[in-house]
Chains A and B, each alone.
Chain A
Amino acid sequence: MANDRLRALEEVEKEIGTVLQCAGNIILELSKEKHNASFLDRQLSQFTTSVNRVETELSNQIRYLTQVATGQPHEGSTYSARKDCQMALNRVDYARVKLGELGRTCEILLDTQT
């Protein structure tokens, strides 16, 4: 859910780039002696679509934030779960170290016997 909204905002950033790109292409085409009318039409329609899309999406996001924002700081955290998981991983490492020592001990004993 969080990622969807952030991804939508990233799409808006790309659309803003498209708006400026289309505006530049139109002016560049108009600066030529012979204009390609179909190219101009395509770029203009894309420019208009992108501008409308940017305005709509950003308005929606601001409206959503007006509904959802409380002004209080969020006090949740994942610290306890992270700590428990870290201790579990430490237990696994410790078990691995001890098994390594046991293995080496067995090898040493086998070597002394042979």
Chain B
Amino acid sequence: MTTQRILPQSKETLLQSYNKRLKDDIRSILDNFTEIIKTAKVEDETQVSRATQAEQDHYEMHVRAANIVRAGESLMKLVSDLKQFLILNDFPSVNEAINQRNQQLRSLQDECDKKLTTLRDEIATDLYELEEEYYSSSYSPWDSSDLPLCEAFHRQDGSDSPEDLRGLVGTSLSGRAGDGSGGISRGSTPGQLNGHGTATAEHP
């Protein structure tokens, strides 16, 4: 069941030291606890006076109790070292953790992109209708000589000559005073046309 692995000297030595620490600490706890219980027994005959014996027993129990606590602390430190070693060197679990995290992040990314694509499709339709409504409205601040974009698109379907198209572009751009945007894209916001908002054109 156990596979023979050739570990680097340092790692093998480290794991052997962990084993040794474990055995020593457990033995220390058990031995010191057993000795405390034995010392608690009241002896009838003592070599020194009772008071001296009691004082000696008291000091011994104090030291052994401190040893038990020290061994407990050493075990806690061992557990902490094992946790650290596990995190750094347990490759199967590290690989699994990395795969899980990658999967989570990719699914979140796919969800975001799917929702953005749906949003794009819905807004494209609405934007087209908004532009039509805006440019054909009688309350629009544009002159009748200016060509709305939707009209420009309609005419672009019918007209094939590039000069006509350039003429349309020039006419439509001349109405956009001071906004600095130069692109005819369906993604540009109407707010730019009045000089409001940011003067950036979206070029897909």
Say yes or no: is B78 at the interface (Cβ < 8 Å to chain A).
Answer: yes
Selected from A2, A5, A105, the residue in CB contact (under 8 A) with B191 is: A105
Using known A-B contacts A74-B91, A84-B109, determine if residue A101 contacts B189 with beta carbons closer than 8 Å: yes
Q: Are A78 and B90 in contact (CB under 8 A)?
A: no
Residue-wise, chain A 77-103 has the 8 Å CB interface mask toward B (1 for contact) of 110011011001101100100110110
Say yes or no: is A62 at the interface (Cβ < 8 Å to chain B).
Answer: yes
Q: Are B7 and A85 in contact (CB under 8 A)?
A: no
Using known A-B contacts A63-B2, A65-B82, A82-B105, determine if residue A55 contacts B22 with beta carbons closer than 8 Å: yes
Q: In the complex, A13→B81 CA distance in Å?
A: 12
Say yes or no: is B79 at the interface (Cβ < 8 Å to chain A).
Answer: yes
Q: Are A101 and B106 in contact (CB under 8 A)?
A: no
Residues on A with C-beta less than 8 A from B197 are 101, 104-105
Say yes or no: is A37 at the interface (Cβ < 8 Å to chain B).
Answer: no
Q: Are B79 and A9 in contact (CB under 8 A)?
A: yes
Residues on A with C-beta less than 8 A from B109 are 81, 84-85, 88
Q: Are B79 and A12 in contact (CB under 8 A)?
A: yes
Residues on A with C-beta less than 8 A from B40 are 27, 30
A1 to B: closest C-beta gap in Å: 5
Q: In the complex, A83→B118 CA distance in Å?
A: 23
Q: Are B68 and A78 in contact (CB under 8 A)?
A: no
Interface range for A: 35 or more
Q: Are B22 and A69 in contact (CB under 8 A)?
A: no
Q: Are B116 and A81 in contact (CB under 8 A)?
A: no
With both beta carbons as reference points, the residue of chain B lying nearest to A47 in the complex is identified as B33
Chain B CB count within 10 A is highest, among A51, A59, A63, A74, for: A74
Residues on A with C-beta less than 8 A from B119 are 95
Residues on A with C-beta less than 8 A from B8 are 71
Using known A-B contacts A61-B86, A105-B190, determine if residue A81 contacts B11 with beta carbons closer than 8 Å: no
Q: Are B93 and A2 in contact (CB under 8 A)?
A: yes
Residues on B with C-beta less than 8 A from A64 are 90
Residues on B with C-beta less than 8 A from A9 are 79, 82-83, 86
Say yes or no: is B143 at the interface (Cβ < 8 Å to chain A).
Answer: no
Using known A-B contacts A12-B79, A23-B33, A58-B82, determine if residue A2 contacts B19 with beta carbons closer than 8 Å: no
With both beta carbons as reference points, the residue of chain A lying nearest to B5 in the complex is identified as A67
A interface with B by C-beta (< 8 Å):
1-2, 5-6, 9, 12-13, 16, 19-20, 23, 26-27, 30, 47, 51, 54-55, 58-59, 61-71, 73-74, 76-78, 81-82, 84-85, 88-89, 91-92, 95, 98-99, 101-102, 104-106, 108-109, 113
Sampled A-B contacts (13; CB under 8 Å): A1-B93, A2-B86, A54-B26, A55-B22, A59-B19, A62-B19, A67-B2, A69-B89, A85-B106, A88-B113, A98-B202, A101-B198, A109-B134
